[in-house]
Structure 1
Amino acid sequence: MTTALDRLHPALVHHLVNTLGWRELRPLQQEAIEPVLAGKDVVLLAPTAGGKTEAATFPLLSAMEQHNWQGLSVLYICPLRALLNNLQPRLASYAAWLGRTVELWHGDVGAGPRSRILREPPDILLTTPESLEGMLVSSKVDARQLFANVRAVVVDEVHAFAGDDRGWHLLAVLERLARLAGAPLQRIGLSATVGNPDELLRWLQGSQHGRARVVVAPAAGVAAEVDVTVDHVGSIVNAAKVISLLHQGEKRLVFVDSRRRAEELGAALRARDVTTFISHSSLSSDERRRSEQAFADARDCVIVATSTLELGIDVGDLDRVIQIDAPRSVASFLQRLGRTGRRSGSTRNCLFLCLEPDAVLVAAGLLERWAAGWVEPIVPPVAPRHIAAQQILALALQEHTIGTKTWREWWGDLPLFDDDAQKLLEHLLSEGYLERDGAMAFIGPEAERKFGRRYFSDLLAVFSAPPEFTVLAGRSEIGRVGDDVLMTDDQDGPRVLLLAGRAWQVGHIDWKRRRCYVEPTDLPGQAKWGSGSGGLSFDLTQAQRAVLLGAEPSDVTFTQRAQAALNELREEHSRHVADDGLVFFRAAGNLHWWTWAGTAANRTLHASLPTLVDARQRIGDRSIRLHPDATAKEVSQALSKVGDLSPPPTNESAIRGLKFAAALPPDLAHRTIAERLGDHVSATAVLEQPRKFYVDAQ
């Protein structure tokens, strides 16, 4: 402790000891001091509640004093506004020990606080990537002046960014910011456990390959006791019954896979007189904040949430985590499990309540991988050409004009732009998204038409959100619902919505302004939103196969109901798995290839074997349906002749779901979607497996 503290500013050390009463720093916090103070790019790796925020902040505050940083010198970037709101008071108190300031800037921050920030920039600014880019392009912000002194960027939950397009967007914005600041920015990523932290850090560095970097991931001490149980309950109503009867008097956080399910479970719990709160993305920010604060302050209660509460938002000291069915990754499970066991003497715990027998197998496969110590590698999405198009237009907004020969200099060799970058630029020019003026280009009329509403806010949001109606009870915003739940005509009696765990009778619908006015009711309500499930990965589906073949995840308890469901599934799939190869099974006039490869790999295999597969099928995680009359010899010959694997087919609906696809040439848009739908590596692994052919004797 003494050696580590010697590197920090004395005033900071004084407050750590006397204000916080800390007797020692955690291992991560000790090991982070040297590399952060040395200006290295760092990924700090620890489970939820592992002290990552302090591990980054304390040495950065010390560096501010040691090097006399003035003005806005540190950006702290989070994926969620709620997480920023949650962090601001804590970081502000730390900074105040040294006479430094911390402020918030995101979509919920009003004009007054923003004006104050521009007049008197804080030392640390908490923001999102979208708000950061909004500042870069705003005519009200002198970005060159505001960001001139930025020295370091902290990216919280960096694994959440890296796994989707927001990560590419973030890296591209940071490259532009570094150019305005006139120097490379120290990059510090905070992450939960991931399978490839070195690759994650190299990705976070963007074009700054020459900078020193280090992953800080202290070896775990004595493992905390873990209690993981899987149960099969059969329905949401039964899940509510189990939750209401178990662990009474305790604070329970229940994770579900969709907004609809959150509403249904919340209503079922309230019907059993359980104090219940709801949190999901379609609730208003005020409604979520009220729920999360009320839950944090209560004891005998339940909060039902989607992944909105998976990240590090503080909802108080939890007793239990309950999972309806299974999350989609081991990393997600670790985040949720890490919500518990924070009190001395308590255990980390998670109870899986599976609604269908098949969900027991999905949970068992995920837990088999977890028990083996495996965590998914974080792989950034391939072919982010649509983000490249967005960045070119955003740069044109920021700089007013860009050089048609020099625009790429803003991003160095960031792998956002591939060999088609010049073709992309020419398309933007030819279609009127950009207008050419000699060797320069500026925003054109088509960009104004497509993205120009509300000061180009559509251009600065990386994801497309389906159109939704704002639901209002009087003047209070409850949340948002999709068109489909309001447009159904096959309904007897009044239309009743289920939102925030309560039923609301629809009164007036303002179709033009997309507003729905409601009043509370005791009638049963309906919750409905679109879903976008992308299927499971190769590794998790292979784990299900291993479970069917007899693998048992260690340190996991299966209730009698769950074990019975798993035994039935093993019997049901007994002819679909084999120890010594992948099974081709013919039964009831159908021939299935049981690949257990995950949806993306199966899409690639389906596209690469047009003469062998049944074209009219929905591709799933576990099997592919072949032509029913194909013989074993014909199948073997067809598989042996597969050369280059083909990309999955695309359609216009998939293209419309890709934000900024309109700014791409049609062929590049289709290629982008196809490359993202498939999994060539896993498909190749499947083709190399031995094969077993079975015919049902019945």
Structure 2
Amino acid sequence: MTAGLDRLLPALVHHIVNTLGWHELRPLQSAAMAPLLEGSDAILLAPTAGGKTEAATFPLLSAMEEQSWQGTSVLYICPLRALLNNLQPRLAGYASWLGRTAAVWHGDIGTAARVRMMREPPDILLTTPESLEAMLVSTKVDTRRLFAGLRAVVVDEVHAFAGDDRGWHLLAVLERLSRLAGRPLQRIGLSATVGNPAELLAWLQGSQRDRPRSVVSPPTGPDVVPDLTVDHVGTIDNASAVIAALHKGEKRLVFVDSRRRAEELGIALRARNVTTFLSHSSLSADERRRSEQAFAEARDCVIVATSTLELGIDVGDLDRVIQIDAPPTVASFLQRLGRTGRRADTSRNCLFLCLDETAVLAVAGLLERWTAGWVEPIVPPAHPRHIVAQQILALALQENQIGLQTWREWWRDLPLLDEHSDEIFNYLLTEGYLERDGAMAFIGPQAEKKFGRRYFSDLLAVFSAPPEFTVLAGREEIGRVGDDVLLANDHGSPRVLLLAGRAWQVRHIDWKRRRCFVELSDLPGRAKWGGSDSGLSFEITRGQRTVLLDGEPSSAIFTRRAQAALRELRERHAENVWATGTVIRRNHRGLTWWTWAGTATNRTLQASLPDVADPRQRIDDSSLRLRNDIPLNLLSKALTGAIDLVTPDVNKHAVRGLKFSSALPPELAIRTISERLADREHTRMVLSDSHRIHVDME
């Protein structure tokens, strides 16, 4: 019997060998058996399709039977409902081998199914953090009974949680569940490659950092060099021509950076008679499901997607991944690359189609960092004070009342709470979000007013979506669009939207009910959604500098067009890059500091150097505009002197983007956003660099 299988329950091994036809486990699955069966918390690391789900669930199923776990003993948490729906049949099949059950609970699950689950709780419950929160505060769910037997939690795509506020929300909910269950919960995170797995595991453990922990990341065999090509195509229409011409007869997954871009490319591909499907967050769940199912069953076709298909949703065997411009991170690139090469006769591949020269440089910089072995560390957002406010209110709903002196005990020493947590609690009392009753507090009128709609549903999710209109063709929901595309003045012309890769003419808008009624059209349309660009990191921007100095990385083939774009950029930036420091350049356009340090660092430099940096500028990744009236001899002294690092100024209206900010003291809300925009570590590095001054000759 191969390594790992001998640790499992014989009945489970029988089905692994005879039902699945597996005569050995994958390296990750073998390596995970001992620590998980011994109850250790763990991070399991493997590329996409590396067998992480089985590596976690097989030992848990074995422990479940051997230790007679009863009721809902395992939670399986995913960031996306679609991923839960995709996994449920597989996990239910595994559980059934031992007479156990697995079921999904999220917002799309009907009342009858929920009642059935409460009456006969599944052994494995697949859900999201938001649905867990909804269960905890619901008066219809007996959570103490439902979670009394809870033993373990599997967090799929844990890196996707840890990198934003959903991760803090998840940890806080797990602390509350642990208290309800009356025991520590074994925590198992599943992830693709990350730069700091040990730190990620320590974060996942929350307040139970005294428990055993294991990072499981065995070698996956010899490294296979992927097939990477970078091209400069100029326009979306040109990109559609390349996609239509290449790899006919194959299944191609195309990633884009926005919903608008997905719609534009979808319509362009269909105009070239390419069988095309779309997947993005503004399409209805039914529309996405139809697209993903049709794509999984087809052969000669393309599916265009935003990051919705970056995670492990199964859309069948892929032949090609195509990326329009650059993905935002190395980790994202690896996730997308990992969608290919799953069949024995295929290899991992990615074709980058860049729409402008700067995108060619962005791809080259990202590949330079990856070639050097660098992957982003997962760093939870700093100072999640708005999540503290949300959790206090959620706990008050869950328990009906909370102790003025004992509320902190629910989260023990979870790093979510900091020196401002008492200030936040007192603010909730003062402003009427909580009402005092002796030594206890309960939900107050201000919380009812701000968050009480639809049974406090707005309090259950830490992310917020902008108000959108539901688009209907007859009774069929197509998706959602933002206000701005409907409010734009069309000067009497027909109003035509792009959605689901098709053009729709607007026939009627129900402004009160936020519904837009449409019909198919042959007229040209447009797609538009709001969005934000947080800029590139220090590391990837420095990767771009390396490319400008040393040439494109050898890990990819750059077409003649891409090479020409990089040559043009090297000539343009010849005086703006320096291998051992930064460049300050004066020319007819003014004084520019070429830091190549990323947006957050440049933003921090501007705030910390008010007498040097131009206060009126749009901050970018590579440079910072300086005041033109500063003598160059004084500039060097100003940059090398003692500098107090300051967080960027924040407009008071920016707090609207921080959900639950209204439940924070206003100054604390502004400070929280300001601190999140800063990058002190890399700012210190830039200031300690050498600085070279270059003056262009007139």
TM interval, short-chain normalised: over 0.9
SS at match of 2:340: coil
Partner of 2:181: 181
Partner of 2:17: 17
SS at match of 1:42: strand
Partner of 1:120: 120
Q: Is 1:267 matched with 2:267?
A: yes
Partner of 2:208: 208
The one-letter code of the counterpart of 2:177 is L
Partner of 1:622: 622
| Conserved 8 A contact 1:585-1:695 | yes
Partner of 1:8: 8
Partner of 1:226: 226
Partner of 1:95: 95
1:458 to 1:561, Cα distance in 2 relative to 1, 3 A: same
SS at match of 2:4: helix
Partner of 2:662: 662
Partner of 2:196: 196
Partner of 1:547: 547
SS at match of 2:605: helix
Residues 88-115 of structure 1 deviation map (CA, whole Å, 9 limit, x = unaligned): 0001101100000000000111111001
Identity %: 73
Partner of 1:291: 291
| Conserved 8 A contact 2:226-2:348 | yes
Partner of 2:533: 533
The correspondence of residues 568-647 of structure 1 with structure 2, limited to 5 A, is 568-647=568-647
Residues 499-538 of structure 1 deviation map (CA, whole Å, 9 limit, x = unaligned): 0000000011000010001011111111000111100000
The whole-number CA distance in structure 2 between the counterparts of 1:247 and 1:2 is 40
The one-letter code of the counterpart of 2:684 is T
The whole-number CA distance in structure 1 between the counterparts of 2:423 and 2:95 is 48
The one-letter code of the counterpart of 1:332 is S
The whole-number CA distance in structure 2 between the counterparts of 1:490 and 1:30 is 62
The whole-number CA distance in structure 2 between the counterparts of 1:670 and 1:47 is 39
Residues 304-354 of structure 1 deviation map (CA, whole Å, 9 limit, x = unaligned): 000000000000000000000000100000000000000113110000000
Deviation of 1:225 after TM superposition, in Å, equals 3.6
Deviation of 1:551 after TM superposition, in Å, equals 4.1
| Conserved 8 A contact 1:341-1:349 | yes
Residues 138-186 of structure 1 deviation map (CA, whole Å, 9 limit, x = unaligned): 0000110000000000000000000000000000000000000000000
The one-letter code of the counterpart of 2:212 is A
SS at match of 2:50: coil
Residues 623-681 of structure 1 deviation map (CA, whole Å, 9 limit, x = unaligned): 00001122222111211234320000001231011000000001110110001011000
Partner of 1:51: 51
Q: Is 1:385 matched with 2:385?
A: yes
The whole-number CA distance in structure 1 between the counterparts of 2:195 and 2:112 is 43
The whole-number CA distance in structure 2 between the counterparts of 1:323 and 1:337 is 10
Partner of 1:148: 148
| Conserved 8 A contact 1:195-1:375 | yes
The correspondence of residues 166-565 of structure 1 with structure 2, limited to 5 A, is 166-565=166-565
| Conserved 8 A contact 1:368-1:551 | no
Deviation of 1:697 after TM superposition, in Å, equals 1.1
464-473 or 627-636, larger mean C-alpha shift: 627-636
SS at match of 1:507: strand
| Conserved 8 A contact 1:259-1:282 | yes
The whole-number CA distance in structure 1 between the counterparts of 2:452 and 2:390 is 13
Deviation of 1:552 after TM superposition, in Å, equals 3.0
The whole-number CA distance in structure 2 between the counterparts of 1:440 and 1:642 is 49
Residues 376-435 of structure 1 deviation map (CA, whole Å, 9 limit, x = unaligned): 000000000000100000000000000011100000100111101111001000000000
The whole-number CA distance in structure 1 between the counterparts of 2:602 and 2:94 is 51
183-192 or 622-631, larger mean C-alpha shift: 622-631
Unmatched runs of 5 consecutive residues or more in structure 1: none
Partner of 1:652: 652
SS at match of 1:289: helix
| Conserved 8 A contact 1:472-1:515 | yes
| Conserved 8 A contact 1:609-1:642 | no
The whole-number CA distance in structure 1 between the counterparts of 2:610 and 2:234 is 39
SS at match of 2:290: helix
601-610 or 486-495, larger mean C-alpha shift: 486-495
What is the TM-score normalised by the length of structure 1? 0.99
Partner of 1:697: 697
**Alignment RMSD (CA, Å):** 0.8
The one-letter code of the counterpart of 1:653 is H
SS at match of 1:115: helix
The whole-number CA distance in structure 2 between the counterparts of 1:504 and 1:426 is 51
Partner of 1:110: 110
The whole-number CA distance in structure 2 between the counterparts of 1:249 and 1:491 is 44
Deviation of 1:360 after TM superposition, in Å, equals 0.2
The whole-number CA distance in structure 2 between the counterparts of 1:383 and 1:64 is 38
Residues 459-507 of structure 1 deviation map (CA, whole Å, 9 limit, x = unaligned): 0011121110000111111000000000011444110000000000001
The whole-number CA distance in structure 2 between the counterparts of 1:52 and 1:492 is 55
Unmatched runs of 5 consecutive residues or more in structure 2: none
SS at match of 1:479: strand
1:576 to 1:25, Cα distance in 2 relative to 1, 3 A: same
The one-letter code of the counterpart of 1:388 is V
The whole-number CA distance in structure 1 between the counterparts of 2:104 and 2:499 is 29
| Conserved 8 A contact 2:28-2:46 | yes
The whole-number CA distance in structure 1 between the counterparts of 2:3 and 2:303 is 43
| Conserved 8 A contact 2:367-2:555 | no
| Conserved 8 A contact 1:468-1:482 | yes
The whole-number CA distance in structure 1 between the counterparts of 2:84 and 2:694 is 56
1:589 to 1:232, Cα distance in 2 relative to 1, 3 A: closer
SS at match of 1:50: coil
The one-letter code of the counterpart of 1:543 is G
| Conserved 8 A contact 1:614-1:626 | yes
| Conserved 8 A contact 2:102-2:124 | yes
| Conserved 8 A contact 2:27-2:220 | no
| Conserved 8 A contact 2:129-2:169 | yes
The whole-number CA distance in structure 2 between the counterparts of 1:466 and 1:358 is 30
The whole-number CA distance in structure 1 between the counterparts of 2:287 and 2:265 is 17
| Conserved 8 A contact 2:2-2:25 | no
The one-letter code of the counterpart of 2:403 is G
629-638 or 601-610, larger mean C-alpha shift: 629-638
What is the TM-score normalised by the length of structure 2? 0.99
| Conserved 8 A contact 1:593-1:623 | yes
SS at match of 2:550: coil
Partner of 2:36: 36
Deviation of 1:23 after TM superposition, in Å, equals 1.8
Partner of 1:73: 73
The one-letter code of the counterpart of 1:246 is L
The whole-number CA distance in structure 2 between the counterparts of 1:612 and 1:515 is 51
Residues 598-626 of structure 1 deviation map (CA, whole Å, 9 limit, x = unaligned): 00011100000001111110011110000
| Conserved 8 A contact 2:612-2:626 | yes
| Conserved 8 A contact 1:32-1:56 | yes
The one-letter code of the counterpart of 1:523 is L
The one-letter code of the counterpart of 1:438 is G
Deviation beyond 3 Å, 4+ runs, structure 1: none
Deviation of 1:3 after TM superposition, in Å, equals 3.9
SS at match of 2:203: helix
Deviation of 1:589 after TM superposition, in Å, equals 3.9
